[in-house]
Structure 1
């Protein structure tokens, strides 16, 4: 056993989280849509540049709201990558729609915009762009495709808080954007998320869906004389305790991301020799920058080597994990969705990608230890370099 374990992830305090939680209780309400909820929403609107932000109890909830707002139902299709978390697909399956999985690019691991147009059918209603590791999808191309075909464009920006593309924040470039504040993300609240409504025509209905299908928001603003059920919806709000914790994190969000970029670049620097020798492949950097440094991954040469490296790191007290089982290759994927093409890049990446520890209180000394153990592994195995596609 190791006394100095390096976990894959570690929750953290960065400011006034506990003070804010106490203040929420003293304010007299810990249900949703209180003072801290409004502060968080105002912060997101101001710093991301979205017309309207609504906090949700998870990014899953934000995606489910998106599916409702997109108006999808039985017989409709929604284009998305297979290399994503299950919530991306589940949100639309719950409305009766069929996810259509398109392959990803080998550089960014985002949906391959060059294959999206050919996957569109008369049944297609929306495109979901997942910004993997906070790196931007080819949003200009996807926006043009969506506009030309009359489709809604939804951003799954769960990993992309404060990442940008040509001066705009990810999550604000589509009709709707979905953020996550899960404890594994850069800015955390345990569970938590937000829906960014960038199309003003969707704001009124989004507020109704958010408030269980009622017109409560309009009633509280004095815009209607009755508070009643007017549409479908659900309990998508987080509690004030969650919002209070989150607001303390948002106040330090830029500093959090700055530190994570330092960690990311140290990984990149120390692992570069192994990449040059052909043992591993490193992520592609957009404009030599690691976006928001949400995660750091390497690509091994095959699944067996990855598993052996995971075991070696585990024996050294270091937790590293593979990422998604591709949705097109999952039991529910066979049942509820379909694949467009063979998805060869998705399959290869899923078999070789390894996520290394990355958390906001991590130190450069811990980065050096992780990289040192990876170097030891390849010296022990003495495998010859081979080509990585």
Structure 2
């Protein structure tokens, strides 16, 4: 079976993990954490990067930092992972889901504009598949209405919007280092990017369980105490050591993934020309970090049949998010504003093909030939 995902391993991780173990200092915010944060700051140009146990934790920190209150509203796409909404619902905010753009599956700025009211506190654009949202339009709306922007860049490390690294355009950005992402810190992990230096001091406090411990170790205060709300948002040094090895190889990993992405796109393009499938779209203002390759079938029935066909050929392909506004918790903690023209209809058509660092040419050929073989079947017309 060709797996949908293989967690990336570049070969240097054990050396750095062994170094961390030998130091006998394995709790968070140690030497490897700081090395990773420096690399992320150099990569993105953000004011400060803080490692977290997950992208979920980074989003939760952002929700605290913008001082969300019960009754505040936060606008985001419904087509996203549950963590995007959970982080803000935990602070008592009402989640306002809006529609996405059909070409990119990213949040539609016109739908954001229509949903803004006096209760709106923040916008959370999600850079789906590592491809940028229309950030100029989103930031203009945020400035006009004095709103925070938290970029959910979970899939978007080393991807850009008009030359700007994703995660650095809004007030905050968040990365994921889960095993399904381009790079990982050993299965779980994340980072919060802070783009407003005024937020840095409080971010350190929130991350250290609400204490000013970081200031104490820098000698800024003579003792540390509980000074704010917070939680334990520190990954271990073993996680950071694993991530450090991967960050050093980020370009190699992403180049490999982009090459595979390009093979898919070129070998399946004729099916798109015939109108049998729709391929991913990379906007002129965006770059592609090779995070995900998906195609859209003509209908839910075709998607179901295609996934079954691929699995019969020993290939694990999957669909993606079920829109949050249709989930029980989505109905309880939020609502969909406007018409759901694209979100549900297009999410039901989307199939993700296997894509991971080190996928072989033979594996790619098998997957492509299986997809093409499915569309050669005589009975395919019965599903339309």
User: What band does the TM-score fall into relative to the shorter chain?
Assistant: over 0.9
Q: Secondary structure at the match of 2:95?
A: strand
Query: How far does the alpha carbon of each residue in 1:204-240 deviate from its partner, in whole angstroms, 9 at most, with x for none?
Result: 1000001110000100000001111000000011000
Q: Secondary structure at the match of 1:177?
A: strand
Cα offset for 1:289? 7.6
1:159 to 155, 158, 165: 155
Cα offset for 1:70? 1.2
Structure 1 residues 139 and 229, CA gap change in structure 2 (3 angstroms): same
Q: Secondary structure at the match of 2:374?
A: helix
Structure 1 residues 290 and 379, CA gap change in structure 2 (3 angstroms): farther
Cα offset for 1:382? 4.4
Cα offset for 1:384? 4.6
2-structure distance, mates of 1:16, 1:116? 44
Match of 1:315 in 2: 312
Contact 2:8 2:183 in 1 (8 A): no
1:69 to 40, 65, 68: 65
Contact 1:281 1:299 in 2 (8 A): yes
Task: Answer yes or no: is 1:362 the counterpart of 2:359.
Answer: yes
Q: Secondary structure at the match of 2:96?
A: strand
Q: Secondary structure at the match of 2:306?
A: helix
Cα offset for 1:380? 1.4
Contact 1:15 1:252 in 2 (8 A): no
Cα offset for 1:285? 2.3
Query: How far does the alpha carbon of each residue in 1:41-76 deviate from its partner, in whole angstroms, 9 at most, with x for none?
Result: 000001111010000000000000010011112111
Match of 1:101 in 2: 97
Task: Answer yes or no: is 1:228 the counterpart of 2:225.
Answer: yes
Q: Secondary structure at the match of 2:151?
A: strand
Task: Answer yes or no: is 1:204 the counterpart of 2:201.
Answer: yes
1:193 to 190, 193, 210: 190
- TM (norm. structure 1) is 0.96
Give the alignment of 1:235-314 within 5 angstroms.
235-287=232-284, 291-314=288-311
The 4+ residue runs of structure 1 with deviation greater than 4 A are 384-387
Unaligned runs of 5+ in 1: none
Q: Secondary structure at the match of 1:159?
A: coil
2:126 to 121, 124, 130: 130
Unaligned runs of 5+ in 2: none
Cα offset for 1:343? 1.7
2-structure distance, mates of 1:82, 1:313? 28
2-structure distance, mates of 1:301, 1:107? 14
Contact 1:278 1:385 in 2 (8 A): no
- TM (norm. structure 2) is 0.97
What is the RMSD computed on CA atoms of the aligned residues? 1.5
2-structure distance, mates of 1:381, 1:100? 44
Structure 1 residues 166 and 385, CA gap change in structure 2 (3 angstroms): farther
Match of 1:179 in 2: 175
